[in-house]
Amino acid sequence: MNDIAPLITLLAVHIVALMSPGPDFALVVQNAGRYGRQTGIAIAFGLSLGILIHSILSLTGASLLIQQHPALFTLLQVAGGSYLLWLGTGALKSVFALLTKPRDLAQVNPMPARLIANRRQAMLKGFTTNILNPKALVFFLSLLSTLVPAGMPLSGKIVAIALLWLTAFLWFALLAWLLTGQRMQQRLLRWSPAIDGLCGLLFVTIGGTILYQAVIR
């Protein structure tokens, strides 16, 4: 019974964090509307796998080891920031290419985006986006070290990890499902330049911030 209260608090904080706009949220919104429900759910599964790995690393102390070694943490920052920057510039280039096309040609040819060929590629994209995000590493390390008591039995820690993974998958899968209804998907396709532009700016801003923090370290 003593373990239930920390788990409820952990779950509540995690749900609020999941609903906050960030790279994971933007990735689902950007791709589910364009590529469909299965792709969105595959991305959701990949994101949740990244969260699962972060949770395990945090509870086993591996994340603390990474954070306490400046070279390792800086390497993660550079990799994560560069990846987010790459996603962002790709989205912004697609928007720029569409806006600079003649109007008739732009209507015939859809926006040149980096295609997701299959569900495996979509899952990998979701996993990479989450696992390379150093902010996620710091978040889960602080979250679990604060809300999971050191004396909690192994079974309680396994339940905590399972809850974090399942909640993440269900939230992102629900988001993908809601965004891929027939009417909603048609609207998202019409709004795709604006969505890509906003998501691209978000990726570039977060990626650039992470790289800047890596440099000043």
Q: To 5 degrees, how large is the angle CA 189–CA 96–CA 114? A: 60
Q: List the alpha helices (DSSP H) in 61-118.
A: 62-68, 70-99, 103-108
Here the tokens at position 2 are 């003593």
CA 51 – CA 23 distance, rounded (Å): 13
How much is the pTM? 0.84
Task: Report pLDDT digits (tens) over 31-81.
Answer: 887 888 899 999 999 999 999 999 999 988 888 788 788 888 888 889 999
| Residue in 104, 110, 108, 90 with CA at minimum distance from that of residue 197 | 90
CA 57 – CA 123 distance, rounded (Å): 20
Residue 172 binned pLDDT confidence (cut-offs 50, 70, 90): very high
Where does residue 151 fall: left (phi above 0), alpha (psi -120 to 50 degrees), or beta otherwise?
Answer: alpha
CA 155 – CA 150 distance, rounded (Å): 13
Top-ranked range on mean pLDDT: pick from 79-88, 115-124, 175-184: 79-88
pLDDT of 118 over the 90 cut? no
Q: Provide the mean pLDDT of the chain.
A: 84
For the purposes of burial, counting CB atoms within 10 Å of the CB of 111, is it exposed (0-12), middle (13-18) or buried (19 or more)? middle
Question: Cα–Cα distances in Å, from 25 out to 1, 3, 29?
Answer: 34, 30, 6
Query: What type of residue sits at position 155?
Result: S
For the purposes of burial, counting CB atoms within 10 Å of the CB of 9, is it exposed (0-12), middle (13-18) or buried (19 or more)? middle
